[in-house]
Amino acid sequence: MTSKDITIVITTYKSEEKIENCLNSINSEIKVIIVENSNNVKFKTKIEKLFPNVECVLTKENLGYGRANNIGLKMVQSKYSLILNPDTILDKEAINNFFNFIKINENFAILGPTQNENLLGVEDSKNIHTNFFEAESVKGFAMFLNMVKFNNIGFFDENFFLYLEEIDLCKRIKQINEKIFINENIKIFHYGGKSVDQTFSHEIELVRNWHWMWSFFYYNKKHSNYFYAFLIILPKFFSALFKSIFYKFFFKNKKSEIYSKRLSGIFNSIIGKTAWYRSTLD
């Protein structure tokens, strides 16, 4: 296996603070496709100049995580791909250990790494012992895909704008009896929730709360039924309603706004509207 056998796909949105650290941790011989959820020509020009192995695609608008990743994945010509969040850093041996895994087991659809919580721990970790196990799903910050396995089911469900799209993909993979593994020898550090410049933290928090609730109902409706999804969302609906009023009463407007967005996300999903809410930063 060589660097030409894998392509890395990264979806970005106002990720300038983190993306360069991520790209610096990737072998410069590996092709990287960045799908930037905007029309930020300055970002594209800068990144492609700094990193010759990177091709940056501008979507012109914020398409969401799943749809943007699908654009990148459809451009992949290698046998394997790695979906990364921009707030990740690869261990120096991460890709080599992935190739070592393939030598032992090629029969997989998705492979997840260890999420290393300590940045200091991201250092050389050569594969001495094979240490992997089968799983129902992996975390979406880093997913190795065996591309041939996705010919029949496609990639992410584009109805999801944000959240649960990777869980949905894993569930669909398991439904056709394909295998998902986690390999503890592959280490990738993930900052977690830091993909977007923290200057926009409140606005992004509103987006996250709206879409978490929308996706939660949609996912359960899709994989169970409407009635089940409605029953399990009801406590969250009333909690959001109470808290939005409570915080408004005590003049904590930012808190109240967050729970109002949760309420709106639930309501829109229940009545069957698409995941339409977008940040004012778009």
**Average pLDDT of the residues of the chain:** 91
pLDDT for the residue 250: 87
**What confidence category does residue 122 fall into, taking pLDDT thresholds of 50, 70 and 90?**
very low
Q: Residue 71: is it exposed, middle or buried by C-beta count within 10 angstroms (0-12/13-18/19+)?
A: middle
pLDDT at 129 over 70: no
Mean pLDDT on 136-146: 96
Cα 160 versus chain centre, distance? 11
At 109-120, the pLDDT tens digits run 999 998 655 544
Q: Quote the pTM value.
A: 0.91
pLDDT at 282 over 90: no
pLDDT at 38 over 50: yes
Decide: 144 and 100 in contact? Cβ < 8 Å.
no
Among 39-48, 121-130, 135-144, 184-193, which is the least confidently predicted range?
121-130
**What radius of gyration, in Å, describes the C-alpha atoms of the chain?**
20
Mean pLDDT on 215-229: 98
pLDDT for the residue 59: 97
Non-local (6+) Cβ contacts of 40 within 8 A are 58
Mean pLDDT on 181-194: 87
pLDDT at 244 over 60: yes
Share of the chain above pLDDT 70, in %: 91
Rounded (5°) CA angle 37-39-44: 85
